[in-house]
Structure 1
Amino acid sequence: MSITDGELAIAAAQAGAAVVRGHYGSSLERYAKGAGDFATIADVEAEKAILGVLRAARPDDVVLGEESGRTGAEGGERLWLVDPLCGTLNYAVRNMLVSVNVALRTGAGVSVAASADPFNDEVFWTGGDGAYVRRGGADQPLVPSAESNLVDLNLDPPFPNRADFLAARMLADDGFIGRFRPRVVSTTLAVAWVAAGRRAGYVTDGHLRDSVHFAAGIALCQAAGCVVTDLDGRPPHTGRGGLVVAADEPAHTALLALVASQQGGGA
């Protein structure tokens, strides 16, 4: 029996997560990638495991991997976006805040995605109809909630909108401090947490179209019913970029106002 795209995304993410767990705590040589970024053997081997699962089931699909680049026939309508270890610096210093991300873009949109937490035996996933977390083989629907008031800010570069928006400036904004509580976990696992009700929101700069880092989290949040826009409140990838994800409309409205308050006041 053929496997569905949703189950394939889960299987691929789980295969990568198993590799990440297996290398955890070992001596990890760093392979420089430029601009302060690097990969480890765990990144490389996890991506190989993910690609092995995808290739076995969908040999004709195109794959864009963080470490191996784009492979497969040109012009394919089905593109798998693979981030084998999001949070490599965390992982390299034995911090378990990481995720393994797999997403499928068909045509213009991503509707199938999985984001695995290797150390909590959880896979957040969507097959295009609802969003779920799988624990021990059982699925539960993801239910967004802004109750915690916790908002993750991505402080990692690049910052293409620095003149008018910088996430770090929100940390000193009285309006932000009065409404939310900041968190910085430095992995896109935090985007999935918005869908799961563990975060009220997530904010980042950057051009994120076909991003292997963000595609899975964005798809999960959209499927779960979160409010997902760019920095100006437009649909993702249609304006100046960036991402504002919130569990509900009031939280999203507040975050957008904080972003807009930086216009013309950047350093």
Structure 2
Amino acid sequence: MLITDEEVAVKAAQAGAAVVAARYGAPLARFPKSGGDFATSADLEAEQAILDVIRTARPDDSVTGEESGRTGSGAAERMWLVDPLCGTLNYAARNMLVAVNVALRVGPDITVAASSDPFAGEVFWTDGAHAYLRHDGADERLTPSPDTRLVDVNLDPPFPNDPAFRAVRLLAEPAFAERFRPRVVSTTLAVAWVAAGRRAAYVTDGHLQDSVHFAAGIALCRAAGCVVTDLHGRPPHTGAGGLVAAADEETHAALLELIATQFTAHTRAFSLGDHPEV
């Protein structure tokens, strides 16, 4: 029986999640990366488990893994994007806020994706049309909601729009505090939570095209019916870049207004000759 792409994504994410859960709390070798970042032996083992699933089910597809880079034909129409452990710093500090992300890009579009929480036993997944939560073998449709008022803000670099925009400054805005409650979990599991109604929104800077970290979460939010744009309200991966994923139009508009304030203030300061160092 032919396994569908969405089932490959779910199975691969579950395989990676099983490794992450099993290695939790054990001594971990660390492998330095650029900018003070690092991978652990759990990252590498989880990525291998994911690649084994993908290569068995889809041997002709290409893969881009966070740790192993690109394998397969660079001209392939089908590219799997793999983030075996999003939240490595959390994990290494024995914090369970992590995600395992798998997405498939066919041409320019992410067609299926899965984001697994290894410790809750949950897999958020999409077939491109709808988004679901799988738990204990059962699937339920994801329904975004702004009711929590919780907005996750990513404070990790890079910051391509600095100094005009820094996500951390949202936390000091009185208008933000009046309406929302900030959260910083430092893993893209929080993007899936927007699709699931556990977060009202998620905000980050960065150029996220083909991002192994964000591709799955963005696909989940779109399929669930969230409002998903760049920092200026344009389609993702255009213009300023970054991401505003919100449960509804009202939440999205409020966040765009706060973000626009930063860009406007920077433009005004620059025009007056108060040029910040960049």
Q: TM-score, normalised on structure 2? A: 0.95
Deviation digits for residues 110-165 of structure 1 (CA, Å, limit 9, x no counterpart)? 12000000000000000112000000000000000000100000000000001211
Deviation digits for residues 195-253 of structure 1 (CA, Å, limit 9, x no counterpart)? 00000000000000000000000000000000000000000011110000000000000
Normalized per residue, the structure richer in helix is 2
CA positional deviation for 1:265: 3.3
Alignment of 1:103-252 (within 5 A): 103-252=103-252
Tell me the amino acid that sits aligned with residue 34 of structure 2: G
Measure the CA separation in 2 of the matches of 1:23 and 1:111. Answer: 31
Tell me the amino acid that sits aligned with residue 218 of structure 1: I
Measure the CA separation in 1 of the matches of 2:111 and 2:75. Answer: 19
Measure the CA separation in 2 of the matches of 1:70 and 1:231. Answer: 29
Measure the CA separation in 1 of the matches of 2:128 and 2:218. Answer: 12
Measure the CA separation in 2 of the matches of 1:54 and 1:38. Answer: 25
Residue 79 (structure 1) aligns with: 79
Residue 9 (structure 2) aligns with: 9
Measure the CA separation in 2 of the matches of 1:264 and 1:125. Answer: 37
Measure the CA separation in 2 of the matches of 1:29 and 1:73. Answer: 31
* Aligned-CA RMSD value: 0.8
Deviation digits for residues 168-219 of structure 1 (CA, Å, limit 9, x no counterpart)? 0011000101110000000000000000000000000000000000000000
CA positional deviation for 1:73: 1.5
CA positional deviation for 1:5: 0.3
Measure the CA separation in 2 of the matches of 1:215 and 1:99. Answer: 13
Q: Which runs of 4+ in 1 moved over 2 A?
A: 264-267
Residue 68 (structure 1) aligns with: 68
- Percent of residue pairs bearing the same amino acid type: 70
Gaps of 5+ in 2: 267-275
Measure the CA separation in 2 of the matches of 1:239 and 1:140. Answer: 35
Measure the CA separation in 2 of the matches of 1:106 and 1:157. Answer: 28
Size of the alignment, in residue pairs?
Answer: 267
| Bigger Rg, which one | 2
CA positional deviation for 1:74: 2.3
Measure the CA separation in 2 of the matches of 1:189 and 1:74. Answer: 28
Deviation digits for residues 40-84 of structure 1 (CA, Å, limit 9, x no counterpart)? 000000000000000001000000000000000120000000000
Residue 273 (structure 2) aligns with: none
